Amino acid sequence: MCETSGLLLLDKKPGITSFAALNEVKRIPGTGKVGHTGTLDKFAGGLLPVLAGRAVKLAPWFSCLDKEYEGTVRFGVETDTLDPGGVPVHHAEIPSLDAVEKALPLFTGAILQAPPAYSAVHVGGKRASELARAGKAPEMKRRPVFIYSLELTSWEPPLAGIRLSCSSGTYVRSLARDLALAAGSRGHLAALTRTRVAGFHLSDAGGLFFRPIDITVIEALGLPWFEINSHDVQKIIHGQPLEPVLEGAAPHGTGDSAAVFSDASFIAMVEKRDGIWKYGYVYR
């Protein structure tokens, strides 16, 4: 049986880890190595892009992508994990709708954000979550993230629905904490659904089937691509210099990473370094 290779858009359900969510995928006949491209917290659900077979090595090009979420903030209590599974550590009055609406603009654009103590961020060579579970208080330094949009979608105190579009590396749990503080309260993220990763949407998920790495996938990643002649494919497979192969092929789009196709078949990923195209990953 041929090994399955490609991309699957999985709708992860709340209550299981991202790693455990792959168990169902691994049972697909012919599926070998699989890996997800961006962890969702156990309490969260939504879009989880999964790569299989040879496509697993494309994970670097699936990282650092913009994302979109819908979530629910519970005001009045902050937990140690900043999610519903944590222990309450701070309590405060429920803020007014006016206070929340005035705080929202503070969290759009470029902001500095401290990740949760219970996270995979490394502090002193160890994961912050390991230190926190050991009773230590890791120093969580603020990091730059970008919030493209943030809006209130519902208001039923103490719960507030939010929708946001953000850069990779954004912690929505931290955003819930900081939004509550800015509104004069305390809070945590009670629910979260990831609805988009780059050009992939949750509405496209459903069914355990892998799609090939084709031009639509590359364009959803926001990457340019080349189309080369079929007689040049062997040159790439054997690692010959890229510049002579690509010089006659105008890229579709711009960027320092690009895909290479021939007759609509995916051949390789290439990267521009010091103005010269170099090999990233040959798919064959």
The full set of domains in the chain, from first to last, is: 6-63 (no CATH), 67-197 (3.30.2350.10), 218-282 (2.30.130)
Radius of gyration of the chain (CA): 22
Residue 250 reports pLDDT greater than 60: yes
pLDDT, tens digit (0-9, with 9 covering 90-100), for 42-84: 999 999 999 999 999 999 999 889 999 999 999 999 999 999 9
Q: Which candidate, 216, 264, 238, places its Cα nearest to that of 7?
A: 216
pTM above 0.85, yes or no: yes
Residues classed as catalytic: 41
Q: 174, 116 in Cβ contact below 8 A?
A: yes
Q: What is the average pLDDT value for the chain, to the nearest integer?
A: 92
- Phi first, then psi: give them for residue 20, nearest 5 degrees: -65, -30
Q: Is the pLDDT of residue 140 over 60?
A: yes
End-to-end CA distance of the chain: 18
**Mean pLDDT calculated for residue range 274-281:** 93
Query: What is the rounded distance in angstroms from the CA atom of residue 155 to the CA atom of residue 76?
Result: 14
